[in-house]
A = this chain, B = another copy of it.
């Protein structure tokens, strides 16, 4: 980690820069895969699974038997842990339901909103080194609470054609309706267009590599909604002298181990704290199985000393971190100043891991500065909020003239007529 002591504000902009990710070169190859799946459906899926995952499948859909066999392989300890996490995620996301408040904006004019589930959603869970069953909790549980009718999941098969048991267990637990052994851009295409086996969905969620990200970006332009734009994961920790430097170091490393492209930022108003934390980082790093990945991530990372915690928050608002940890006994004092962040962890015992797994908040969050303009996944992500209105005769009488005047001024006579014809009828009543 590079250390910067009291950098002037003019330098903040460049300190906030993320690594440039140019995925334009992927445009063409991903577009070819999308188009192939659109035309050749299942056939293309079998082909790419053989080509890219080195697996010849006899069936894309995971059978009931495979699910049951998988579930039997998961330890009771892990099942209990996943259930505890599910309970908390359920409680927090269920609390996000909006009440339908009927608002009478003018006498006789009633307006309200209703949350209606997106009928069909698709979850993508990457394969690779770690089976991300926690992400299934974060996406599947709110989809279930929202009432989505079809919740499908695509994930690439292992070399032997199986799916990790913890993934099968969690998907089954949260009510995923169907699981498919498909990964990469071809999985996004399958959910976006539909195939003989995989139903088309209206919104696609979940993380993935650059091919998956590019496929989501391209499919979004074709009318399929996606959760949010993607970028490497990141944490910004603001630590004052009341922090515990070992805890802070552990938090920085838990982010750094995600991937070589992860970024961690440490801010403090205290030089000694920075020194202590960095020493701890070095020490703890040695013990990590993913040491190499974490080391690479730390190379793109910085520790910055600023005048005050207020300045640190100001910097953080400019950076707009995915995760913001305020490692201070008085963390709550700074809440009102926070403008841009995905999820905020207050105090010395609120580690990012808690939110990653089991506290109840969602871990699908805006990265790469998108916390300036995007929210993380929540119950809102799985519903449309539809407005309703009911005008009584009194209602149209009360606001009719205003509508007529405005429609006329916009040159929209037929809009005016729709009111005039009603007002005339009421006059003749």
Contact = CB atoms under 8 A, between A and B. Distances in A.
Interface string A197-221: 0000011000000000000010001
A183 interface: no
A290 B417 CA distance: 12
Interface string A258-293: 100000000000000000000000001001111000
A92 B81 contact: no
B402 A357 contact: yes
A386 B349 contact: no
B357 A396 contact: no
A357 B403 contact: yes
A35 to B, nearest CB: 13
B360 A111 contact: yes
A294 interface: yes
Given A354-B399, A387-B361, A417 B116 contact: no
A280 B355 CA distance: 60
Given A88-B399, A375-B386, A385-B375, A103 B109 contact: no
A313 to B, nearest CB: 13
A343 B389 contact: yes
B419 A351 contact: yes
B389 A361 contact: yes
A64 interface: no
Interface stretch (A4-12, A47-55, A130-138): A130-138
Contacts of A84: 106, 399, 402
B346 A405 contact: no
Determine which residue in A250, A357, A376 has the highest number of CB atoms from chain B within 10 A of its CB, and name it.
A357
Q: Give how many copies assemble into the complex.
A: 2
Interface residues of A toward B: which range? 35 or more
Contact of A414 (B254, B331, B362, B418): B254
A58 interface: no
A61 to B, nearest CB: 24
B412 A290 contact: yes
A256 B92 CA distance: 44
B410 A130 contact: yes
Interface stretch (A37-45, A154-162, A171-179, A223-231): A223-231
A80 interface: yes
A395 interface: yes
A312 interface: no
A251 interface: yes
CB-CB nearest 7 A-B residue pairs: A105-B360, A88-B105, A81-B402, A202-B373, A81-B405, A225-B373, A250-B418
